[in-house]
Structure 1
Amino acid sequence: MKVYLIGAGPGDPGLLTLRGRDILAAADVVIYDYLASDELLAHTRPDAERIYVGKIAGNHALPQPQINELLIAKAREGKEVARLKGGDPYIFGRGGEEAEALLKAGIPFEEVPGISSVIAGPAYAGIPLTHRAFASSVTIITGHEDPTKPESAHNWKALAASASTLVFVMGMKNLAQISSKLMEAGLAGDTPAALVTWATTPRHRSCVCTLATLPKAAEEGGFKNPSLIVVGKVATLHDSLNWFEQKPLLGRSVVVTRAREQASGLATRLSALGAEVIQFPTIAFHSLADTAEVDSAARSLSGYDWVVFTSVNGVRFFMERLNALGLDARAFAGCRVAAIGPATAKAVKETGIIPDFVPESYVAESVAQGLVAQGIAGKKVLIPRARQAREVLPEELRKAGAEVLG
């Protein structure tokens, strides 16, 4: 039994560490926070128990003491427990409290650091927290202190006098107070400042203003938690170094309806352009319950002149049946192979077969025209395909005098 306190990173699933990913993939139980995305949870085992304990202002799925008890209870069941926390567990993540509770209970634990939004948020907004011309240190401050403390622990005069870049987290509710306290302590109202919300995610936005205009900028821009507040001259670099917000699909949501096993490439490309990708497969592929007809065709491949593959799935399922029968690519000896497009052709090549024909236009009509041009009359053609498919290809080949199965 063991509990791993894993930093999930700032929001971009690509910023999860390799160590964190590997532990998630092996864990029996995953206890995760509000900012843990579906992409991160996709690394978990299908049979892993997932428990949501997220906390947002005014709405806690579980109070912190109960989260501590849950971690201990699951570990005592002999489980490997992954505690997935936004950012880094030990930077305003209450990971230290959870570690202390585990230590007191005699539960072994490890802390797996994550990339904090304190660092990644400004970086994605084009704001380096340190710069030789502007700031040589950074001060990270919570804008939401322990409400049970009698008074603030912040030394506002020291913060105002510091040459550090100031980064406030969880401070949107107290933004006006933060701004006024710093100015009252002597920090100039025209000091550059910035707001960053939903850092590193497709919902990422930022704006640059001044210390004095922070509350107005937040209200006009609709900035709410989760947001960061950056105060310091480094904020002036935003306009020139702001690389992430140049992505053409940032702020857009795209629903991908392809089968899940085929959607990853498209989803990755869309994400790279800044889009929020919602995978909502409206189609799924399953092997036939009755494979007698397919098996018969596979055993008699030598009797066909052409085998035409119209999809990657067709290649995969047909080759699975061929292999199940104890056959391999050698069964295609004597017949020619066509593929409807480059993706299908690639799948065919991966089986050790180089297609004899791939049309320039990747539609059934072009396949039919190409085969007819090569002389299909009197030829025997096999088309391994889904039951629900267009009839254009077999119909056109039959019109040209071919004998078609598929």
Structure 2
Amino acid sequence: MVSPSHPIFEGFPEFRPGTVWLVGAGPGAPGLLTLLALHGLQQADVVVHDALVSDAVLGFANPSAEHIHAGKRGGKPSAVQADITRTLIALAQSGKRVLRLKGGDPFVFGRGAEEALGLAAHNIDFRIVPGISAGIGGLAYAGIPVTHRDFNQSVTFLTGHDLSGDLPLAIDWAGLAKAAPVIVMYMAVKHLPDIAARLLAAGRAPDEAVAVVMEATLPTQRVISGTLGDVAALMPQIAPPALIVLGPASSLRPVLDWYDTAARENRYG
């Protein structure tokens, strides 16, 4: 572990007592943490972390830091968001350096904005430390470029469920289907057949490529491929956490699939 006093951290922002850092842990591999995230982890008095944050990432934390699990997983007993925010507020008000560690990026389907708004309402200073979003970094580990000038000049990011866990009915599916050639779906496994049906009804082609990346950036990463029309046949092979990408982005995977057995042997990614 790099010492907090290492010259690499000279000039980094102070992590003051009574403040909260909302930090993105990246898509999974510990080597994808940012330097600022590492600096915060090594200074924190308490780390409030999501379910998908690995032990390897938590291993970078200050050895004396308290760890509080605040994960939310679909279909499993989960922390209530309001309780998580109250915990952050109470810890900061007690004078702790509080690091809220969230998978991916805090502001990309991570509810980081809700937590930041709660802190602001209580006049608690906070810092946002962005992370590599799984919808970009995770796909890169699968050899899937989220953009390529020959295929798409835009991309849509979609969450597969709303606040209640149901399919987001507020989405304009007809507009979404036409908005971008590539659609990247987070947390969409549960409702994937319904999402596919709505996109097909809105005009997307049944032979469009679909790739599903499970446990992205980890040695256990798996990728399965199919088409939008055969999503139902893919479902028995899919398990969360998974990213789903629709469109031509995955067509380059046979050439760009660099994350081979040798690469997976490096524990940092």
**Normalized against structure 2, the TM-score is what?**
0.89
2:61 to 26, 31, 44: 44
Q: CA deviation at 1:148?
A: 8.4
* Kept in 2: contact 1:249–1:273 (CA 8 A): no
Match of 1:165 among 167, 177, 182: 182
| Cα shift at 1:272 | 5.7
Q: 1:236 to 1:150 in 2, by over 3 A?
A: closer
Amino acid at match of 1:230: V
| 3-state DSSP of counterpart to 2:190 | helix
Asked whether the 8 Å contact 1:195–1:218 carries over to 2, the reply is no
Q: Which moved more, 1:161-170 or 1:18-27?
A: 161-170
Q: Tell me the equivalent position of 1:180.
A: 197
* Number of the residue aligned with 1:74: 91
Partner deviation per Cα, 1:347-369 (whole Å, 9 max, x = no partner): xxxxxxxxxxxxxxxxxxxxxxx
Once the two structures are superposed, the pairs formed by residues 257-276 of structure 1 within 5 Å of their partners are 270-271=265-266
- Which residue is equivalent to 1:297? none
SS at match of 1:39: helix
SS of residue matched to 1:36: coil
Structure 2 gap ranges (5+): 1-17
Q: Give the aligned residue type for 2:250.
A: A
Q: Which residue is 2:147 aligned to?
A: 130
C-alpha contact (below 8 Å) 1:172/1:224 kept by paired residues: yes
Which structure has the higher relative contact order (CA within 8 Å, separation 6+)?
2
| TM-score, normalization by structure 1 | 0.59
Is the 2:181–2:248 Cα contact (8 Å) retained in structure 1?
A: no
Q: What's 2:82 paired with?
A: 65
> Percent identity of the aligned residues?
44
Question: Within 5 A, what are the aligned runs for 1:271-286?
Answer: 271=266
1:137–1:163 contact (8 Å) kept in structure 2: yes
Please give the alpha-carbon distance, in whole angstroms, between the structure 1 residues aligned to 2:268 and 2:155. 31
The structure that has the greater radius of gyration is 1
Q: Match of 1:350?
A: none
Contact 1:247 1:273 (C-alpha < 8 Å) held by counterparts: no
Show CA shifts across 1:115-157 (max 9, x none).
0101012111111111111111110001112238997121111
Query: Against the structure 1 CA distance between its residues 196 and 98, is the aligned structure 2 distance closer, same or farther, given a 3 Å change threshold?
Result: same
Among candidates 94, 100, 107, match of residue 90 of structure 1:
107
CA deviation after TM superposition for structure 1 residue 249, in Å: 7.7
Query: What secondary structure does 2:132 align onto?
Result: coil
- Find the counterpart in structure 2 of residue 240 from structure 1: 255
Aligned to 1:228: 243
Paired AA for residue 261 in structure 2: K
- Root mean square deviation of aligned Cα: 1.9
SS at match of 1:139: strand
Equivalence for 2:171:
154
Q: Equivalents in 2 of 1:150, 1:217: separation in Å?
A: 19
- Superposed counterparts of 1:5-404, under 5 Å: 5-147=22-164, 152-219=169-236, 222-244=237-259, 246-248=260-262, 250=264, 270-271=265-266
Q: Who is 1:4 aligned against? A: 21
Higher helix proportion (structure 1 or 2)? 1
Distance 1:61 1:29 in 2: 20
Q: Distance in 1 between matches of 2:138 and 2:222?
A: 10
Please, which runs of 5 or more residues in structure 1 have no aligned partner?
251-269, 275-406
Give per-residue Cα distances to partners, 1:203-253, cap 9 Å, x unaligned. 11112211111231232xx21111111001121111111111x22485xxx
Structure 1: distance between partners of 2:268 and 2:179: 38
Distance 1:126 1:226 in 2: 18
> CA 1:13–1:162 in structure 2 vs 1: closer, same or farther (change >3 Å)?
same
| Counterpart-to-counterpart distance in 1, 2:62 and 2:39 | 11
* Partner SS state of residue 56, structure 1: coil
Which whole-Å CA distance do the structure 2 matches of 1:186 and 1:90 have between them?
Answer: 30
CA distance in 2, matches of 1:56, 1:201: 18
Aligned to 1:372: none
Structure 1 position 273, deviation (Å): 10
Distance 1:273 1:151 in 2: 35
CA distance in 2, matches of 1:149, 1:59: 15
**Contact persistence 1:208–1:236 (CA under 8 A):** no
The CA deviation string for residues 272-303 of structure 1, in whole angstroms up to 9 with x for no partner, is: 697xxxxxxxxxxxxxxxxxxxxxxxxxxxxx
